[in-house]
Each structure stands twice: as structure tokens, then as C-alpha cells.
Structure 1
Amino acid sequence: MTESANTPVIPADGLDDSLCDPTVKLRGPGVGSRRIFLFGASIAATAYAAWLMTDVLGADQLTIMEMVVVAFFTINFAWISLSFFTGIVGLVLRGLKLDAITLKRLKPIVRKGRLRSKNVVVIPVYNEDPNRVFAGLRASYESLAATGELDAFHFFVLSDTRDPDIWIAEEMAWAKACSDLNARGKIFFRRRAENTERKSGNLKEFCETYAANYDHMIVFDADSVMSGEAMVNMAYLMENNPDAGIIQSPPQPTGRQTLFARILQFISRVHGPTMSAGLSFWCMGSSNYWGHNAIIRTKAFIECCGLPVLSGKPPMGGHILSHDFVEAAFMRKAGWRCWLIPQLEGSWEELPPNLIDFAIRDRRWCQGNMQHARLMVAPGFKPLSRLHFFMGVMSFVSSPLWLLLLLSSTIATLQNTQLTYSFFPGQFTMFPQWPVDRSFEMLVLLIFTIGMLVLPKIISILMVCLGRDRKQYGGVMVLASGLLETLYSALQAPIMMMLHSQFVFSVLTGNQVGWDAQERDDAGVPFKAALKTHRTIIVIGVVWGAIAVFVDTAFFWWLSPILAGLVLSPWLTHYSSSLAIGKAARRMKLFVTPEEYDSPDELRALARINAESGEDDVKDGLLRLIEDPYANALHSALLPVCKPDARTAIEIGIIYEKLARLGVESLTRDEKLLILSWPVKPLDQIMAGRDHITAEGPKPAS
């Protein structure tokens, strides 16, 4: 099979707008008033908190450092306030069972007639476990087949893999999936020779080559799984909303069993729908794109989503890494709408299994999001797109701002302890100025701030606890799960504050990060590794605590939750990564999600397919092709039909000579990639009269 034989040819369908179903139109009242309410409330709350902080600190006299404290507090509180009111709106919508867009009673999507569009599910991968990638594809494919709409979809695995062994394993897994599912002509595989621009470049190359054959594409991540109903509903919504460029589903995290991942899965399942509903309410047709588990109109994407290369050197310059926000902004700039549909269920993803892998993923995202600071002032973007860029930047910059707030508070407290209060500050003052007690106002400010941080989440937990489906979350143990999650989040927050601050500083000082595959197994963190990672954080916590005790005992106790998280960081990371503790929590009905209580068909299929594939490690890809004629023929058929130039042919010849004399293990990764880029010679041609080659190398000459 040549590459051309692996290319689907479908006539593009022009969809007739007159056939659109008016019952699924994405329209809603009062777009402007929604945003005026939400941002007005956020600004008012921030102004009140800033005034209260100023009143507390300036009761006697407001020093320069206290002014700095007020400034950092105001910025951080504005970020908290926007999240708070988004959550409150989401809670109201969930409580009243209202659609976030139409503000009408929530109703299931009822399709009228079959799909008229041609759709493609694209799965960009980079050095991922082929068994897991194709297990998710097969589970989604089987679910889609059950809807009766399989003819409207194709699947494309878009490989950017640079590991030669994984590359060959991907090809074999693709062939097996096609055979087992009888899906030849439905599931396609393509590997790029060069992975320029990473994932965004992968999709760009696909769009330039194949996407004109399709009306819409659903973008998966390597760990994505979607129900057939969800995919068909997304395509149906796109058909009936011709101005929609992107429709994003809110993927639910699932599938991990470590304590860390279980805690995040639980709170995402409990509180995530609240935030999704609130975001959809005020973003409306200017919602964001999260990079996967979304459907995109290919025509719009091809026309307006080509990403620019930023001037300057990485990390702030060069290719844009966090492409999803930018692509949504270009969609809006061109007049297309981007929607977040909270009620689109049947969409799942997987989380990193521990705090360190979670931080590694955030490190990659930080570099990409920091680039968005340059796009906030770029011409042509819609105001809400600029806000999304700002929110992306703030998701990481808020950590160093919080750290600066705490540090400036420490310095201000130290200064105040060194001051001798003057009852007669002026030369001609006849009456004394007594110190003012602001302890009540401080208590109000503290309660106000903590309430803004945790109240929406607490109400979400209570809603689940009082709802009919609480059994799916562990029954009465929901409250215990919520309490423990809140405690864990409080301890984890200062750790992430320090890590994010380090990431931001690293990016701003010109250090860029690699972009490797995410850890997708339930991997734990040994205590020594956690201690090595967090040793600087521990030292900072101990020194900071000692200074706080010296400055003011009351201030030390106010700071103690932050210090506890820093000092306990290696223990928290190590024990939260434990698979055994995670499974024990499951037995105690802690951090249970509906997907565990009554697993959907797609997730059961995923577990079944993963179990059937077993723990088969990726084999040496080159050796596999040398020894297996079927694998060799398959690989050759998937390669481009062309010949190497003279220089490349000489290099390949030298590598084959090395292979014949010293064995497969003597070749470097790049040498393997080079000869795998062309049809591989079978064993007899390689040896040409030499001794048999094995994984251990050739037998020594007698």
C-alpha cells in the first residue's frame, strides 16, 4: 500500500443552511448585559476588598511597602473575583437546570435526520504508547459504530513520533485496528518526516494535505476518548450552526488511580461543570478552545488559523506553543463563533498521575501561555480574545504575584515591628493620635477572601451531596471527600505557587523547555525523588517560618498554612502519588466519580482493549522489520514513493554495513530513523553471506 492508497478521497459537501434544525441553534439573550453583570460584580468586589485592605493597613499610617502590599493584593483579588462570580453564575444555572447559552430549561439534543456532513477524527501523537492511543481510538470507533453514523466519519492518526521503535509499533497497531474493526478505508495513519511547530504544525500539515475533503474535524489528544453520541451531536450542532467555527466539549478526567489523580478527578467532576457553565454563560460565542475534544470547521480553520512565528528567540519568540487559545482568537477575528457546550457529555481525558508530572505539564504550558502576553496587544483581535490571552498569562503569573504579596507582607510586618509609635507626629500637634484597632476589619477581609476562594467549590460539593446522584460520588462520603480535597488543595497551593513562580522566572530569563510525551501510567514518585525536587522549597519554608516567628508570632500563625505546604512538600508529593493509597481511598468510597460507579460503555471498552493488549513492551522496530516480512511490507507501503539522493544513499549504505557487522544495538536513534525512512532491506540482503544477525548482534566470525 502506498501513501496515495492510504489517502481517502471524499467529495466535499456544501451544507444547505435552509435544512438547519432551528431547535439546536446556539443563540442566547443579553450577551452584553451578562458581561456587564459579571465584570461589574468582579470590579465592585475587588474595589471593596482593596478599600478594606487599605483601611486596615492605613489605620495608623500607610508605608510605601504597605502600598506595595495593597497593589499586589488588588491584582490577585481581581483574578479571584472573576473566578468566584463565574462559579456563582454556574451554580445558579446548575441549580435551576438552565442552559448556559439559551437560559432555557436544559434539554437533551434530539437529532432530526442523519448527518449530512463529512467528518474526520484526528489524533496527533508524539512518542506516545501505541497501545493506549489505539485503545482509545478503538473504543471511540466502536461507540460511533453503535450510533449508525459511522459512514459520516473517518479517523486519522497523525504521528510526529521520533522514537524508531514506537514508530513501527504505531504502524502495527494501526494495521491491527483496521483488521479487527474491519475498518480499512475508515482509519488512516500518517507520519510526518519532520515535526516542525509540534502539534500545531502537525494539524497544519494535515489540513494542507487532507482536510479539504472534510467539513469538520474532531481533535483528540493521545489520551482522549469520546462517545459516539457526543461526536455525532457535535457534528450535528456544527451542521445547524453555520457560523460556528469551534464547538468545545468539557472533557472529564478519568482513568487514573493514584491518590493525586483521584483527588483531581473527583473535584473536576464535582466542580468542573459549575465553572464550565459559568464560562459558557459570559463567553457565549467567544469561548475558548482547549486544544482537544472539540470539533472544528475545517474551512474556517484552513482560512484563518495559520499561526504566525513571533519575532525574537524562544521562549518568548519563535513558534507559538500554546496554539489553542490563538486559533480560537483567529477564528473570532475572522467572524466565526467559538462555543463551549457544558452539557456535551461523553468526553474524557486522562490526568498526570502525580504532582511532579502535573508540574512538568504546567512547565510546558507556562512557556506557551507566556507568549500570549505579546498577542494581547496585537491588532485585530476581539476584546474577549484579548481577555482569554490575559487569563492564560495570569494562570501562571498569579503565582509570582501571590508570592510577592506574601513577601511584601512579611517585609511590611517586619518594618511595623521596628516602628516606635508617635502619639504626637507633628511639631505643633496638641492632641495625641491613638493607635487604631483594625482586628475586626482584618477578620472581615480574611473571611471575604477565603469565601471568594472556596465558596463556589463548597456549594458544588453540597449540591452533589444533596442531589439524587450522590451515590455515584460515594454517597455520604462525598462530604469527607470534599473536606479532604479542600485540605489537600490548601497544602498543594503554596507548592504550585513556588513551582509556577520558578517556571515564569525561567521563561522570562530566556530558558526554554522541551516538549515530551506526558506520563500516562499510574507512576508514583519515590521519596528521594520528591525530596530532591522540593529541597529548595523546604529550605525557603523553614527560613521564612523562622523569620516570621522572629517578626511577629501572630503573623507566623497567619502564614502557617503556606509554610506547612512548603515544608511538607516532599511527603505530600510522595504519598499522594501512591497507587496503593489511591486504591484504598476507592475502597473507602473516597474521591469516587460517576465513571467509576457506573462506567460508560466507552470506558469499559477502553479497559477491555487495554487488558487484551497486555503489557506488551515496544519492541526494537528495526529488528522487527528485518525479521518479519509482513511488518516490512506494511512499513514500506506507508512510506512516500521516492528515492534518496546520492549523499543519503551513501549514508544509508554505511549504516547497513555497520548493522551487518555490529548488530542492531550498535545503531543510534538517528541512524535507525534514517534507514527506517526508506524501505528496509530484508535479512538476507543485509547479511549478504554474513552470519545471522540478532538483537544481541552478529555471531563472531570463527
Structure 2
Amino acid sequence: MTEAANTPAKGTIPAGRSEDASCDPTVKLRGPGVGSRRIFLFGASIAATAYAAWLMTDVLGADQLTIMEMVVVAFFTINFAWISLSFFTGIVGLVLRGLKLDAITLKRLKPIARKGRLRSKNVVVIPVYNEDPNRVFAGLRASYESLAATGELDAFHFFLLSDTRDPDIWIAEEMAWAKACSDLNARGKIFFRRRAENTERKSGNLKEFCETYAANYDHMIVFDADSVMSGEAMVNMAYLMENNPDAGIIQSPPQPTGRQTLFARILQFISRVHGPTMSAGLSFWCMGSSNYWGHNAIIRTKAFIECCGLPVLSGKPPMGGHILSHDFVEAAFMRKAGWRCWLIPQLEGSWEELPPNLIDFAIRDRRWCQGNMQHARLMVAPGFKPLSRLHFFMGVMSFVSSPLWLLLLLSSTIATLQNTQLTYSFFPGQFTMFPQWPVDRSFEMLVLLIFTIGMLVLPKIISILMVCLGRDRKQYGGVMVLASGLLETLYSALQAPIMMMLHSQFVFSVLTGNQVGWDAQERDDAGVPFKAALKTHRTIIVIGVVWGAIAVFVDTAFFWWLSPILAGLVLSPWLTHYSSSLAIGKAARRMKLFVTPEEYDSPEELRALARINAESGEDDVKDGLLRLIEDPYANALHSALLPVRKPDARTAIEIGIIYEKLARLGVESLTRDEKLLILSWPVKPLDQIMAGRDHITAEGPKPAS
């Protein structure tokens, strides 16, 4: 067995068959009034922002507008524009959902009715980096079994693209791949390939795959390590690509599922309730210029190869170097070359998993922040479409809005402090004969407050009410959906200031030149001990207490206006600790709180995922190198998956030294890098390593008698 046995032969599958002239006109991705849609949405957003800015200026400038108050107005206007765009996107999505209209065609929603079998050849690619092999292959196997049930399995291959640098996980991946191929009778259907060097992270992983194997396929469906998709969803995506030859990317909206901590359950619930609303609204105005989220999407390989090579930004990381958040950029290059990118809200059967607690959620956001901040440099790069630049801007604003919000609150505090120190002059002019009375703007302030809060929460509240009044409310916990919505709103209000402080810290860290690694995401229901939460949030608590004391000193009414922000900051460790609890999450499930349809009536794919996960772990690899030394089958499999080559003289000497150390001191004496080096070549069996020495174990060799 050689590496070639694990890879499909090049050139055996004709590319481009999906552009056959016999396309199905009923699934054409076309819709009326693209320009008018955007004029309406952006016009309404600009009008609402202008009104809010005028109202804020009127409130603050009733007597006199100070420089600090001008700063407040500026920050408020920028933040409100961001809120306004999201609000009208949500309102449009609500209308479309209420009328059951397709966001693209504006016709009555109906299932995709395929005519005939797939003509294209497709590949599902799963890039991984130090992930749990049991979970990765459980998702792969669940998706594979679902695809087999559609009868279209012959149109698909699966590729696990490993960038793993942990030697034990590397060998575990190989063993899990071999077991999956055997159990599913999938030789020649599921392939495994590991890169020797993980340059450019995930984007480099996909790039090497495209350069090596992608010409064999018309389309590739990109999975994350935690992705699961139904066979129907994958076949429908391939069918849409076949019948829309100008489509470069078709993105499905993945639904979060599978986690049981309170934090994850809350996010799963609101994503399931309100997520379809936002997806429909985005699809309505983005049309063929939608974004790509990096996974659970299908891509035309020809287009991807031709136009999605990512540039290396000038300067040092984090703002320079390799582009980390590559998905937005790849979609922009697609649009630049004339290909269309579509978000299809009704593509169901697409799932992912969330981080289990706020700390891990923030760690993931820290990586995304570093990647998204690079997009600020691409906003002014030549050749991109206007909507691609808007997507870059939205990616930047998803993090920059937090420090802007913080600056708004701080400048409001300073402005209030300044106003309390002013002695009002009823006769400001030297020759003024009539007094100038202070103007009461409390009514306008109330209107502005209601207007802003309404823009923030109204679409979400209506989404909750729609579910509560709909026929499928039982799938969301029945009447308890209202309680779930109320508690989610309260939790979001308390969590928002915590994320504001964390995101502000992330943005400052990136702008001052600090970068982070890109490690595997936590995918278990891990809780956060209270001491760890307190250590993480101690600075936030101090800021909240000091800020509250200043607010009380400045103005008691201002303190109460600021109290929701201060409460979130001061209560942050308790909020993080208790929301990460698995026990509380399960108790909420028993009370029918934060229930999703996937829990009420679990799809076959998710049941298969749970079953396979439960069955795995019986033959876990504890030490990869030791497994190869002691198990001839694992050794032969590993050797067959390595490229055929010989080490140079220097490498051969290094390997010899490591083997000598291994024989004398045991496996545990080797460093990770030493294990990786000898695993990069066929591993010697036990008898050759010992060469007359005693038996080697994980604890080291036994002493000679």
C-alpha cells in the first residue's frame, strides 16, 4: 500500500460537467429589483440614523453643545448606523418569513424539486488542526451515511485534510480514517492526507488541496471540524451549482446544535429562532454578492482555483502577513472575477457546534478579531465590488463597534461630569436684557432611548413572537418559548457589556501589534470554575465599580441610566461561571427552556452523530509512536500514508540519535518535535529499535537484570 492508494487518480474525472446546457430553470438563482432592494434598505438605514443623530444633537445641544458633547454625537451616530442596518435587515427578514417568500426570487417558498440525478463530481473537504479525531470522524460518518441514503453517493468523495501537529492525534486520525473506510465499505470514497508543513493555516491547507487534487472535481463542500450536513442538503447544494453555472459559492446557514451548557443552549435557542430572520434579510439585499462564512458551503473549484489565491499583506502580523479570516476575502475575489456568491436561507440540514462557555467564545472571537481587522486594509484595495467592501467593513465593525460603544459611554460620562460643574448663566451676553432659561429635553431623551432600544431588540422580539404563535412552537418548548425569549434578552443585556470590554481589549491588542495563535476550538461541554472566571474578569469588575462610583458622584440619574452596563461588568464572573454549568443547562432542558427543534425531534444525522460518538473511544490512541512500535497493522498503515522519499544525510543522523534515545530512555523521554520527526518517516518496529535491548514501554525500558 502506498500514498497513491489513498488518493484519486488525477484527470480521471472530467471537470466542468456542471455547466451542461440542460439546466433546470426552476432553480435559477435570479430575482427582481436588486438595485431597488439596496436603495430601500440603505435609504431607510441612513434616514433612521440621520433622525437619531438629529435627536441626540437636539437633546445635548438644548442649552449649548460642548466639544465633548460633539464627540458623543459622533460616536453615537457611527454606532447607530451599525444598529440601523441590522434592524432593517431583520425587518425585511421578518416580512419574508411572515409571508413565506423566497428571499431571492420573492416568490412563494417551496422545496427544491430535483429533476434527474447529479451530473457533477463533488468532494467534501474537512480541514482539521489538532482536533479530536473521534468527533471529526463521527461528523464525517453521519454525513456520509445520510448521503448514501439519498442514492447520490457516487457523485461525492470525502477528503480529510490534516494540518495536525500533535503526534498522538496524527496517528489517531490515521486509525480513525482506516476504521471509517472499513466500517462504511468506503475505500476509494474517503481519503486522508496530512501536510508536512501547515503554512497559511486553513487557507493554505485548502490551497494545497486545490493545487493537487481539486481539478478532479466540479465542486467542493467545505466542512469545519464540527460540521454535520444531511445528504439532502449536500445534494441540493450540488444541484443548485449545476443549474447556476455563474455561481461561485453557495452558502447554507448552519444551525448551532449539540451543546448542553446553559451558555450554549441560550445561543442555540436564539440562533434557531432569530437566525433565519437575519439570513433571509441578508439574502434579500446581498443577492449574488453574499458573503462566505468559511464552512458548510459549496464552492466551484474551477473558480476558486482561478481567482482565490490570497495575497500576503505587507508588514508584520497581526495587521500584515498571511490573511487569517480568509473566507470574506475569497468571496470578494469571487465577485471581483464575476462569479456570484449566494446565501440560501432555506437550505436546511446544515449544523455546527458552538463554544460551550463565554471564555471559549471570547477566545474564538479573539482569533476572529485579528483576522477581521486585516480587512480594514482590503476595504480600499483596487478592483473589489462595492458590496465586498461593505462586507469587509461589516467584518471590521463587528469588533470595532465595541470600543466605539465604550468611547461613547466614557465620553457621555465626561460630558455629564462637565455639565454638573457648570454654573448656568441666565444672562450670557453683556447687553442681554432677557434671561435665557434652561430647556427641558426629558421627553426627547425618552423618545431617543425608546427608539434606540427598539432598533436593537424589536426584530428579535418579533421573531420570538412568531415562533410562539406559529404551528411549530411545540418544537421550541411550547408556551415556554416566551420565558426562554425573556431570559435570553436579560442574559444578552448582561453579557453585552462584558463582550464590549473584551472586544475593546482585543482591538487594542491587535492595533498595538500583539498576535495570537490559531489553535483548535474547545468542543466539549466544559465549564468555567469560579476562580478562573474571577481571574479573567477581575479588571472588568474594577472598572465597573470605579465607573459606578464616579457615576453616583456625577449624577444619580446618570448612574441609574448606566446601571445595566455596570451590572453586567460587576456580575461578570458569576455570569460566566453559572452560564457555563452543564447541570444548569440540563435543568433548563427539563423545564423546556431554550429548546430547539433539533432537540424536540432530532434529525437522523444528529442521532447518528450521537450514536457514533458514544461508540467511539474504545480504541483511543494514547501514545501514537508507541502504537506504531507495538502494532504492526498501525505501523504498516502509517508507512503507506507517508510520501515515498528518503531523508537527507543530516536528517538521517538526527533520526538515528532520536532512536538511540528512544531505545535507552523510552517513549516518554521524547519531545513532541522529536516524535514528529521520526513519525515523518516509516517507523522502525520494536525489534529493530531495541536491537537486543530490553522491552520498551510507555514508562521507559525495563532495567537489565
Deviations 1:288-315 (A, max 9, x none): 0000000000000000000000000000
> Once the 2 structures are TM-superposed, how far is the Cα of residue 411 of structure 1 from its aligned partner?
0.1
Show the counterpart of 2:110. 107
> Once the 2 structures are TM-superposed, how far is the Cα of residue 260 of structure 1 from its aligned partner?
0.1
- Equivalent-residue separation in structure 2 for 1:143 and 1:259 (angstroms): 30
Deviations 1:102-128 (A, max 9, x none): 000001000000000000000000000
Contact 1:12 1:215 in 2 (8 A): yes
Show the counterpart of 1:517. 520
- Equivalent-residue separation in structure 2 for 1:623 and 1:323 (angstroms): 37
- Equivalent-residue separation in structure 2 for 1:499 and 1:491 (angstroms): 14
Deviations 1:46-95 (A, max 9, x none): 00000000000000000000000000000000000000000000000000
Deviations 1:579-606 (A, max 9, x none): 0000000000000000000000000000
Deviations 1:496-528 (A, max 9, x none): 000000000000000000000000000000000
Contact 1:120 1:154 in 2 (8 A): yes
> Once the 2 structures are TM-superposed, how far is the Cα of residue 428 of structure 1 from its aligned partner?
1.1
- Equivalent-residue separation in structure 2 for 1:484 and 1:525 (angstroms): 21
> Once the 2 structures are TM-superposed, how far is the Cα of residue 11 of structure 1 from its aligned partner?
3.5
Show the counterpart of 2:556. 553
- Equivalent-residue separation in structure 1 for 2:3 and 2:59 (angstroms): 71
> Once the 2 structures are TM-superposed, how far is the Cα of residue 210 of structure 1 from its aligned partner?
0.3
- Equivalent-residue separation in structure 2 for 1:227 and 1:373 (angstroms): 36
> Once the 2 structures are TM-superposed, how far is the Cα of residue 14 of structure 1 from its aligned partner?
2.9
3-state SS in 2 of match to 1:605: helix
> Once the 2 structures are TM-superposed, how far is the Cα of residue 616 of structure 1 from its aligned partner?
5.9
> Once the 2 structures are TM-superposed, how far is the Cα of residue 358 of structure 1 from its aligned partner?
0.1
Contact 1:13 1:118 in 2 (8 A): no
Deviations 1:219-271 (A, max 9, x none): 00000000000000000000000000000000000000000000000000000
**Is residue 150 of structure 1 aligned with residue 181 of structure 2?**
no
3-state SS in 2 of match to 1:339: strand
3-state SS in 2 of match to 1:18: coil
Deviations 1:643-669 (A, max 9, x none): 000000000000000000000000000
Deviations 1:330-371 (A, max 9, x none): 000000000000000000000000000000000000000000
- Equivalent-residue separation in structure 2 for 1:551 and 1:570 (angstroms): 27
> Once the 2 structures are TM-superposed, how far is the Cα of residue 618 of structure 1 from its aligned partner?
3.9
- Equivalent-residue separation in structure 1 for 2:618 and 2:81 (angstroms): 49
> Once the 2 structures are TM-superposed, how far is the Cα of residue 701 of structure 1 from its aligned partner?
2.5
> Once the 2 structures are TM-superposed, how far is the Cα of residue 555 of structure 1 from its aligned partner?
0.2
> Once the 2 structures are TM-superposed, how far is the Cα of residue 17 of structure 1 from its aligned partner?
3.5
> Once the 2 structures are TM-superposed, how far is the Cα of residue 542 of structure 1 from its aligned partner?
0.2
- Equivalent-residue separation in structure 2 for 1:627 and 1:16 (angstroms): 51
Structure 1 residues 451 and 86: alpha-carbon distance in aligned structure 2, compared to 1, 3 A threshold: same
- Equivalent-residue separation in structure 1 for 2:602 and 2:70 (angstroms): 54
Contact 1:625 1:631 in 2 (8 A): yes
Deviations 1:551-585 (A, max 9, x none): 00000000000000000000000000000000000
- Equivalent-residue separation in structure 1 for 2:622 and 2:613 (angstroms): 17
3-state SS in 1 of match to 2:17: coil
Contact 1:42 1:78 in 2 (8 A): yes
- Equivalent-residue separation in structure 1 for 2:68 and 2:474 (angstroms): 51
Contact 2:19 2:245 in 1 (8 A): no
Deviations 1:420-472 (A, max 9, x none): 00001111111111000000000000000000000000000000000000000
- Equivalent-residue separation in structure 1 for 2:49 and 2:94 (angstroms): 21
> Once the 2 structures are TM-superposed, how far is the Cα of residue 615 of structure 1 from its aligned partner?
6.9
- Equivalent-residue separation in structure 1 for 2:682 and 2:123 (angstroms): 29
Structure 1 residues 614 and 654: alpha-carbon distance in aligned structure 2, compared to 1, 3 A threshold: closer
Contact 1:216 1:296 in 2 (8 A): yes
Q: Which stretch shifts more, 15-24 or 368-377?
A: 15-24
Deviations 1:270-299 (A, max 9, x none): 000000000000000000000000000000
Structure 1 residues 302 and 484: alpha-carbon distance in aligned structure 2, compared to 1, 3 A threshold: same
Q: Which stretch shifts more, 289-298 or 615-624?
A: 615-624
- Equivalent-residue separation in structure 2 for 1:548 and 1:217 (angstroms): 56
Contact 2:19 2:243 in 1 (8 A): no
- Equivalent-residue separation in structure 2 for 1:251 and 1:16 (angstroms): 27
3-state SS in 2 of match to 1:157: strand
Show the counterpart of 1:431. 434
Q: State TM-score, norm by structure 1.
A: 1.00
- Equivalent-residue separation in structure 2 for 1:319 and 1:595 (angstroms): 38
> Once the 2 structures are TM-superposed, how far is the Cα of residue 12 of structure 1 from its aligned partner?
2.8
Contact 2:94 2:463 in 1 (8 A): yes
> Once the 2 structures are TM-superposed, how far is the Cα of residue 16 of structure 1 from its aligned partner?
4.5
- Equivalent-residue separation in structure 2 for 1:537 and 1:616 (angstroms): 45
- Equivalent-residue separation in structure 1 for 2:5 and 2:160 (angstroms): 16
399, 403, 406: which one aligns with 1:400: 403
> Once the 2 structures are TM-superposed, how far is the Cα of residue 10 of structure 1 from its aligned partner?
2.9
- Equivalent-residue separation in structure 2 for 1:155 and 1:140 (angstroms): 10
**Is residue 178 of structure 1 aligned with residue 181 of structure 2?**
yes
3-state SS in 2 of match to 1:19: coil
Identity value in percent = 98
Show the counterpart of 2:677. 674
- Equivalent-residue separation in structure 2 for 1:669 and 1:269 (angstroms): 42
Contact 1:120 1:156 in 2 (8 A): yes
Show the counterpart of 1:320. 323
> Once the 2 structures are TM-superposed, how far is the Cα of residue 700 of structure 1 from its aligned partner?
1.5
Contact 2:68 2:415 in 1 (8 A): yes
Task: Write out aligned runs for 1:426-465 (5 A).
Answer: 426-465=429-468
72, 76, 85: which one aligns with 2:75: 72
Contact 2:18 2:241 in 1 (8 A): no
Q: State TM-score, norm by structure 2.
A: 0.99
- Equivalent-residue separation in structure 1 for 2:379 and 2:3 (angstroms): 41
Structure 1 residues 41 and 420: alpha-carbon distance in aligned structure 2, compared to 1, 3 A threshold: same
Structure 1 residues 535 and 617: alpha-carbon distance in aligned structure 2, compared to 1, 3 A threshold: farther
Q: Any gaps of 5 or more consecutive residues in structure 2?
A: none
3-state SS in 1 of match to 2:21: helix
Q: Any gaps of 5 or more consecutive residues in structure 1?
A: none
3-state SS in 2 of match to 1:155: strand
Contact 2:663 2:696 in 1 (8 A): yes
> Once the 2 structures are TM-superposed, how far is the Cα of residue 614 of structure 1 from its aligned partner?
4.0
Structure 1 residues 426 and 168: alpha-carbon distance in aligned structure 2, compared to 1, 3 A threshold: same
Contact 1:12 1:212 in 2 (8 A): yes
Task: Write out aligned runs for 1:21-60 (5 A).
Answer: 21-60=24-63
Runs of 4+ in 1 over 6 A off after TM superposition: none
3-state SS in 2 of match to 1:247: strand
Show the counterpart of 1:3. 3
- Equivalent-residue separation in structure 2 for 1:284 and 1:562 (angstroms): 37
3-state SS in 1 of match to 2:374: helix
Show the counterpart of 2:168. 165
- Equivalent-residue separation in structure 2 for 1:193 and 1:339 (angstroms): 34
464, 488, 494: which one aligns with 1:491: 494
Contact 2:167 2:672 in 1 (8 A): yes
**Is residue 697 of structure 1 aligned with residue 694 of structure 2?**
no
> Once the 2 structures are TM-superposed, how far is the Cα of residue 617 of structure 1 from its aligned partner?
4.8
> Once the 2 structures are TM-superposed, how far is the Cα of residue 15 of structure 1 from its aligned partner?
3.4
Show the counterpart of 1:358. 361
- Equivalent-residue separation in structure 2 for 1:11 and 1:19 (angstroms): 17
Contact 2:621 2:627 in 1 (8 A): no
> Once the 2 structures are TM-superposed, how far is the Cα of residue 3 of structure 1 from its aligned partner?
1.4
Contact 1:286 1:385 in 2 (8 A): yes
Deviations 1:458-494 (A, max 9, x none): 0000000000000000000000000000000000000
Contact 1:101 1:284 in 2 (8 A): yes
